[in-house]
Amino acid sequence: MFEFGPSQDLPTVVLVDDDPISREVMATVLTMGGYTVHTAASGEALLELLDGGKYVPGVILLDAQMPGLSGNRLIEELRARCTARVVAISASKPPDELVAAADGFLLKPFGAEALNKFLGLDDSQTTPSAGGRPSSGAQPAVDLAAPVVRADTLAQLREMMTEPAVKQIYSAIVADLLRRLALLEDAFGKGDDAEIRRIGHAIKGGCGMAGAQQAAQLGALLESTGNHLDNSATILADLRAAAANLKSMLEAEFAA
C-alpha cells in the first residue's frame, strides 16, 4: 500500500475486500484523500487484525460480496469486537438485510470525498487531493471506442504517485484481466451463471476504481447478464481487446 501523509483529524479506516485490484486501488485513493488505511483480504483476516489490538479503526469498509465469513455474520463479530462504523461497499446494490445490519452503504467506485460526506466531515478537515475522485467507469453499455482509462483518474494518480507506482497499478489490472478471462472461459463452458456474475462484479469494481472504463463496462455487462448473453465468444473477445488496449496504453504512456 502507498503512503501519502494521512491527516490526524480523520478516522482510521480498515478496508476488507477479497479482490486485490479493488482493494489496492481503493486503499490508494483513500490514502490520497488523507485517510490512514489498513487492509484485509477476508473476513477472517479482518478479525485477526482486530484481535491483534494494533489498530483501532473508526470506520470499517466491508465488501458486500466475499467468500467465507462475510455479510451479517461478520458484522455481528465486528460489533462484539469494536465500536467502528461498519459501511458496506459494493459495485452493486447489496441485499437489504446487509444494508440494515451495517451503518450504511457506499457504491463502488468512490473516493475520499464520498466517504467524507457519508461521515459528515467538512472538506476542510481533509488533505486536498488533486483532480477530484476517480469517477465511475462502469456503464451498462459496452463502448470499446471509449478511452481506455479516464484521463482525470490517470492525471490524479500521476499527481499523487510516482510513475512506477501508477504503472504498477495498471499492470496489475492487465494481469488480473488475463487471469479472469481464463476463469470466464471455463465458467461459460460450464454454464456457471453465478461464477460469471461474480467475475463480472469483480472486474467492474476493480477496473471502475482505476478508471479503466472499457473493462469496467464489460464487467458490468457480465454481472447483469451472466450466462444469458447471446454470444459469449463476443464478450470474451471484447474483454481480451480491452486488456490489450490497456496494455498498449501502458506501453505508450510509460515507455522505458
88 forms beta bridges with 62, 105
The whole-angstrom separation of Cα 225 and Cα 77 is 34
> What pLDDT does 164 receive?
86
Q: What is the predicted pLDDT for the residue at 154?
A: 85
Helices 193-209 and 213-225, interaxial angle, to 10°? 150
Residue-level pLDDT at 3: 37
Q: What is the pLDDT of residue 133?
A: 39
Report d(CA 49, CA 81) in Å as an integer: 11
Q: Is the pTM of this model over 0.85?
A: no
DSSP state of 21: H
Q: What is the pLDDT of residue 4?
A: 37
Q: Residue ranges per domain, the chain?
A: 13-125, 151-253
Per run of 10 residues, the mean pLDDT along the chain (length 256 residues) is 50 91 83 87 93 89 89 93 92 86 88 85 45 37 71 81 84 90 93 90 84 89 83 87 90 80
Q: Can you tell me whether residue 70 is helix, strand or coil?
A: coil
- Contact between 170 and 228 under an 8 Å Cβ cutoff? The reply is no
CATH entry, 151-253, from 3.40.50.620, 1.10.10.10, 1.10.260.40, 1.20.120.160: 1.20.120.160
Q: What is the CATH number of domain 13-125?
A: 3.40.50.2300
Are 190 and 123 a contacting pair, CB within 8 Å? no
Backbone phi, psi, residue 98, to 5°:
-70, -45
